[in-house]
Structure 1
Amino acid sequence: MKKIIRVIFGISFIFYLLALVMLLFVGVMFVGIRGNIWADLSLIEYLKSSSNFVPFKTISTYIQAIFDGSMNIDIPIKNLVGNLIMFLPMGIYLPFFIVKINKVSIFTILMIILFFFIETIQLVTRRGSFDIDDFILNTVGALIGFGFWKSKFVQKLLK
């Protein structure tokens, strides 16, 4: 039974990783003409115009928009909730496959490195922006997944 669970987890992890790549790097091309608008800018100009290094700036803008109706509610909900749940499965998959990632501190450091890498690649390839709030929401989502993984309920199911 454990082999079947491992195979199912392995296959679902591959599909999850493919979906992440599509969302993070490929999907931006289909969302709009972002790549065409920024094509003439140097990397430094692109960095300045498409990055957010101020923690909670984007999050507070979206929360404010939810309450005052200044934006279509789908946009802040998709961005806030989407960034939270996008990496929630990572908090389950990584400790399942890599047993050494069983402490929250090790997991958090690994996620910070991963998210920094992803945000930087998005910036350099101009497939997105570097947003510290995405970084924060992705980390919180991954930690929620890790907390679920470490819960007594899940650990009892695995034994």
Structure 2
Amino acid sequence: MKKIIKIVFSLSLVFYLFALVVLLFLGTRGYIWADMTLIEYIKSSSNLIPFKTISTYTNAIFNGSMNMDIPIKNLAGNLIMFLPMGIYLPYFIKRLNKASGLSITMIILLFVIEVIQLVTRRGSFDIDDFILNLLGALIGFGLWKMKFVQKLLKYNRGNSSFANKRM
């Protein structure tokens, strides 16, 4: 059973990473900005003000000022997109089994992703996306740390070092 869980986790990680790359870096975003210099693009597509986009979308949900699909997809999508990272990272990298280690790793990873999106013109640098992605990963980590999940894995991992740790 232990081997089956590892195989399922490994395969699902591959599919998740593929979907993440497609969502974050592939597609037609960026082509309309081809006539701008990189500096102009960076200035026009960066949001460094925390909660600016989040509050705009939250207000739109309550006052109906935009199609509901846009704010809901943006807010929920950014939250859910990195939720699996909060599960996969501590599963595959035992040093990330604490919130502090996971948080630092996710901050670095998300910063790199936002910069790559900006430089490749495949998205923007939005601090609100960063906040929602980090929050999603931490929610995933919270799910990972739930007792029933840990008991299930402890049962399936038998005598592994992970199973011998006290929770």
| Residue 12 of structure 2 corresponds to residue 12 of structure 1 | yes
Q: Equivalences for 1:1-159 in 2 at 5 Å?
A: 1-27=1-27, 29=28, 34-159=29-154
Return the alpha-carbon distance in structure 2 between the equivalents of residues 6 and 46 of structure 1.
43
State the AA in 2 paired with 1:142: A
Return the alpha-carbon distance in structure 2 between the equivalents of residues 102 and 86 of structure 1.
20
Return the alpha-carbon distance in structure 2 between the equivalents of residues 60 and 72 of structure 1.
15
Superposition misfits of 4+ residues, deviation over 6 angstroms: none
Which structure's CA Rg is the greater one? 2
Return the alpha-carbon distance in structure 2 between the equivalents of residues 108 and 149 of structure 1.
14
Return the alpha-carbon distance in structure 2 between the equivalents of residues 68 and 8 of structure 1.
43
State the AA in 2 paired with 1:49: S
TM-score, normalization by structure 1: 0.95
Return the alpha-carbon distance in structure 1 between the equivalents of residues 116 and 61 of structure 2.
30
State the AA in 2 paired with 1:52: N
Return the alpha-carbon distance in structure 2 between the equivalents of residues 37 and 26 of structure 1.
14
Return the alpha-carbon distance in structure 1 between the equivalents of residues 32 and 141 of structure 2.
38
Identity %: 75
1:37 deviation in Å?
2.4
